[in-house]
Structure 1
């Protein structure tokens, strides 16, 4: 029997989380995508704290979903820079590196975040 879309994503997400771990020196950039919104958090897994976060609900953005995702990536990167974070481990959350996830990552890279 085939897996549903959400079961498949959760299986991939668990596999990614086995190797992707955020430390204080290199926190994890976690991405969640819903049908309408996109969210990004920078997390220190050792402390269990969110160091910076941004979402499409926080910023005043217009355009396509991919353009908004790029703006969210820039916003989270600016907040990370303000918190003194230069490099992160990218956690795509089980989503394919395509479309909005790719746009968010490229927006964060353009704003100076390294991963």
Structure 2
């Protein structure tokens, strides 16, 4: 029997292969039951340009729900990416469905000026 994690990673592999083929910066999103993480990864795949998560002290203060926290993470990653000189990225949802926290993070990053 195939586990949920194995299925998710199988879905993610196809997206990551396409993004690598395009050779663009990648906004990678990961989530656990409690936290949401986002990273901007260089086209070569070996360097983290910017990162933000619900573990950061900036995000933790005053947030009660997961979706509100994900929205804050999205705005913060966009701000840090722009500070590093990255304007346009490819969105890598890591095999997760595009709803809930993943959708909230993506929409907040778009509103903050990140293009994808």
Q: CA deviation at 1:70?
A: 0.8
Q: Which residue of 2 aligns with 1:33?
A: 31
TM-score (ref. length: structure 2):
0.90
Find the counterpart in structure 2 of residue 12 from structure 1: 11
Name 2:107's counterpart in structure 1. 106
Q: TM-score, normalised by structure 1?
A: 0.90
**Paired residue secondary structure (1:20):** helix
CA–CA separation in structure 2 for the residues paired with 1:60 and 1:32: 17
Q: Which runs of 5+ in 2 are unaligned?
A: none
Runs of at least 5 residues in structure 1 that lack an aligned partner in the other structure:
none
CA distance in 1, matches of 2:6, 2:84: 35
Corresponding residue pairs, total: 112
Runs of 4+ residues over 2 Å off in structure 1: none
**Higher helix fraction (1 or 2):** 2
The aligned runs of 1:1-115 (5 Å cut-off) are 1=1, 3-21=2-20, 23=23, 26-46=24-44, 48-58=46-56, 59-61=59-61, 62-115=63-116
Tell me by how many angstroms 1:34 deviates.
0.5
